[in-house]
Structures are given as C-alpha cells and as structure tokens.
Structure 1
C-alpha cells in the first residue's frame, strides 16, 4: 500500500508537470513560425529546453507506470479503485505521449516554415542589395558620362574662343596692312615694278634658252 501510494503521488506530480510543460511547449508553435519572433524572444532556445525536459519527464512517467503495472499484476494486493487509478495513469501517459509527438511534429513544421521564410527573406534582401548596387553603379556610369560630356563641351567652347581670338588677331593684322598700304601708296608701285621685272627676266631667260637649244640642234645636224 505504501509503495502504491508513493508511486501514485509521484505519477500525479509528474503528470501535472508534464501537462504544464507540454502546454508551454505547444504555445511556442505560433512564435516559431515567425523568424522575427524567434529572434526577439529567444524561442529557439526555449523550445529545445522544453523538449529535453518533456522527453525526460516522459521517460520517468514510463518507469513509474511500468512499476504500477507490476503492482496491477497482483490484484489481490490492490482495491478496485487502485486498479482503476493505475489504468487511468496508463491512459493519461499514452495520451500525453501522443500529444507530445503531435506537438513535436508541429514544432518541426513551424521551424521548417521559419527557415523557409528566413531563406526567402534573405534572398529578397540579397536581391534588393544587388539591385541597389547595380543602380548605384549605373548612376556612377551616368555621372561619369555627364562629366565627360561637360569636359568635351568645355573644350569645344575653348576652341571656339581661340578661333575667335585668332580671327580677331588676323583681322587686326589685315587692317594694319591695309593702313600701311594706304599711308604709303609708293609701295604698290614698287611691288608692281618688282613683279614686272620678274616677268621680263623670265621672258629673257626663256628666249636665251630657246636660242641655245636651236644652235645646239643645228650643230648636231651638221
């Protein structure tokens, strides 16, 4: 009797503790399916601790139920209410184990979903980062192209300004030459005389060369 009473009390205590732990364990399922909640409240560590505790309690309950089962094998030592209590402990243990297995599967599914969502989120973040880098690189190339265009435009403006300065300088030179020609009219006559002498010298030289050629040809024939 004393052995039954001790096992009965231990079994009730473990059953209540197992039920409380299992309730806390099952309440983590919604949080585990959301990666942000897992990181915020440390659910990833709590579910492992609770799972280990529940497995330990399950083992202890199994041992006590086995001991109660051995007592139930001696019905002459127990009353009908004791046998019913032992049967009830066995049924509660079986139901608790089945609920624990189901909740454990839900936790695994929630973790798989959280990992999937985390992977998708990481892929999205990586894509956004890559797209942002591409946009920044493209913007850099556009800015570089704009700077190059501005440099070319500045060079073209400088070249046009240089041409304008040279044109102004040449116009000034022509104006000064025109002024010199106007103030010194004898220069035109001098230039004309030089040109006339050059033409005359060229004519004389041509006549002399022609006569020499004719004389040379006549000498060779004779």
Structure 2
C-alpha cells in the first residue's frame, strides 16, 4: 500500500508540472512568431518528457495494482482517473501545438505575399517590355472592335435583304389578287357583311339592355 501511495504521489506531482507547462505553452498560441524560438522548442521537449514520465509512473501503478489483489476499489478508481488526466494532457498538448503551427503558417503566408508585392513594386520597369505589352493589348482590342463592326454590317445586310424579300412578296401578292376576276368584289362584300353583322349584334345588345332597364 505504501508503494502504491509513493508512486501515486509521483503521478500527482507530474500532473501538476504538466499543467503548468501546458499553461505556459498555450501563451505561444496567442502571440506566435514566424519561427519557433529556442525557448519554445525547449518547452515542447520538456512537456513531452513530462508526459512520457507520467506514462512510466502509471505503468508502475498498473503493475502494483495487478500484483495486489486486495487493492481497495478507491485505489483502482484513482489509477483510472490518472490515466484519463494523462490522455487529456496529451490531447491538449497536440491541440496547442496544432494551433501554433496554423497561426505560424498564416503569418508566413502573409509575409511571403507582402514580400512578393514589395519586390514587384521595387523591381525596375523595362520600358521596352511595357511598350510591347501595351501594344499587344491595343491590338487585341482593335481586333475585337473590327470583329464586332463586321458582324454589325452582316446583320444590317441580312435585315435589308429580308425587307426587300417581304416587299417583293407583298407586291406579287397584290398583283396576283388584282388579276383574279371578282376577288376585290368578294373581299369588299365580306367586309360589308362583317360590318353589318357587327351593327346588328350591337343593336340587339342595346335593345336587350333597354328592356332589362324597363322591366327592372
């Protein structure tokens, strides 16, 4: 029992030490530099050593537990709790390290982009290359404008041709109708009959309205 208690005291001491180291290590996630400092690297190694040492101590406790059948249940519960704390410390250590690496990558990416922009601004401009690039852009725009103008002319010619075709067809139709005997008379009679039917229908509607008005 004394052996279990003495080994467990080491586990508690290592847990307290790991908690303090992780708290200090988490501060690097708030103010990350572009590169890891020597102090940060030493702190990472110390945390890993402390956690590995905790694993060894807990292994010792497990062996004591296995070799002591009469070990009280409360001791077994303490051993289980120490293992859970160790797992939580490993997870917290990995999470903090991932956060630091992510922030450092962002800083380095922004630094590289800014450096590229500064280099482009400070790079001397070759007047000949600039003139050639502008000339190429102007030629490309001119080609596009010429293509649009040519398409516009083609569209206009097609519309004129269609209008001429419709006018010619209308003239031929008029001439054809005028050559057929009685066509104009027939069309005139159809229009007259249509007007007469419309007049009769309108008169009938008016009479119905008047009758309804007097019968009401």
TM range, normalised to the smaller chain?
0.5 to 0.7
Q: Which residue of structure 1 lines up, in the alignment, with residue 139 of structure 2? A: none
Q: Which residue of structure 2 lines up, in the alignment, with residue 62 of structure 1? A: 55
Alignment partners' CA distance in 2, 1:22 and 1:81: 28
Q: Which residue of structure 2 lines up, in the alignment, with residue 124 of structure 1? A: 117
Q: Which residue of structure 2 lines up, in the alignment, with residue 90 of structure 1? A: 83
Q: Which residue of structure 1 lines up, in the alignment, with residue 37 of structure 2? A: 44
Q: Which residue of structure 1 lines up, in the alignment, with residue 175 of structure 2? A: none
The within-5 A match list for 1:110-149 is 110-130=103-123, 133-134=124-125
Alignment partners' CA distance in 2, 1:57 and 1:117: 35
Q: CA RMSD in A?
A: 2.2
Deviation at 1:77, TM superposition (A): 4.1
- Give ranges in structure 2 of 5+ residues lacking alignment: 128-216
Q: TM-score, normalising length from structure 1?
A: 0.51
Deviation at 1:75, TM superposition (A): 4.6
Structure with bigger gyration radius: 1
- Give the structure with the higher percent helix: 1
- Give ranges in structure 1 of 5+ residues lacking alignment: 139-222
Alignment partners' CA distance in 1, 2:37 and 2:117: 23
Deviation at 1:74, TM superposition (A): 3.4
Q: Which residue of structure 1 lines up, in the alignment, with residue 96 of structure 2? A: 103
Alignment partners' CA distance in 2, 1:18 and 1:4: 21
Alignment partners' CA distance in 1, 2:102 and 2:113: 16
8 Å CA contact 1:25, 1:47 repeated in 2: yes
Deviations 1:64-90 (A, max 9, x none): 111111122235342222111111101
Q: Which residue of structure 2 lines up, in the alignment, with residue 9 of structure 1? A: 9
Q: Which residue of structure 2 lines up, in the alignment, with residue 18 of structure 1? A: 18
How many residues get paired?
127
Q: TM-score, normalising length from structure 2?
A: 0.53
Q: Which residue of structure 2 lines up, in the alignment, with residue 73 of structure 1? A: 66
